Amino acid sequence: MTAPVEAASTGGDAGRAPVALLLVSHSRDLAAGTLELAAQMAPSVLLVAAGGLEDGGIGTSYDLIEAGLGRAADGGRSVVILTDLGSAVLTAESVLEFLDDEVRARVRLADAPFVEGSIAAAVAADGGQDVEAVLGAAELAGATFARSGGAAPSEHGPVPASMRATAVLRNPLGLHARPAAQLARTAASFEAVVTVNGVDAASVLALIGLGAVGGQQVVVTAAGPQARAALVAVIDEIEAGFGEA
């Protein structure tokens, strides 16, 4: 039997986060590619891909999913499962039916778009959030990209901009996946509501949806008990070019 593909660890951090992700796809390449993309933004998260059939063909394998889930849940980690198509959901549900109750209680099956949900969930898990928050981030990803223009407004509703600043994106590619994830983690670490060009700065998908490129000026606002610290941290990251300038 072909073993599930596991994310390579950079610096030995993978698996440090309390929530792991299991990526279930009909395609081995799609599962592995999504894993590779998410791993770039979530180095502390154990990511396991169970894609395709044992022989590399298109389909879903009960045995691969079962083995992948066992690896993801090892050590008491909680697990969020992302799937690509309906039959992948059915196969994953079949695996869940035969789990021990203790393990089953730590597993959630997300109703979310596969790639976008995997990215959002990985970033949330990398930020140390619990399994319900990681599940919520994955499922919110579908609503984010269903909106016109791809970018979502802050989920907190209208936010009084108690503090405001502007900055220029100094890295050539702007808010692509890795910088967006870095900025989202920073924004989420403060007790404040932070927006960039009107979207929730704690949402990596909303930031990517802005399509902001190098040289573009962005407007950052912050409100809440830690608004000043959050604003300074976000502006500093933008002006530093996310290590890419």
The residues carrying an active-site annotation are 26
One-letter amino acid of 138? A
CA distance 90 to 13: 32
CA distance 30 to 107: 22
Q: What is the b/e burial string over 204-237, where b = at least 16 CB atoms within 10 angstroms of the residue's CB?
A: bbbbbbbebebeeebebbbbbeebeebbebbbeb
**Residue 87 burial (CB count, 10 A):** 12
Q: What is the b/e burial string over 61-85, where b = at least 16 CB atoms within 10 angstroms of the residue's CB?
A: beebbbbbbbbbbeeebbbbbbbbe
φ, ψ dihedrals at 228, nearest 5°: -60, -50
CA distance 61 to 30: 15
CA distance 204 to 182: 8
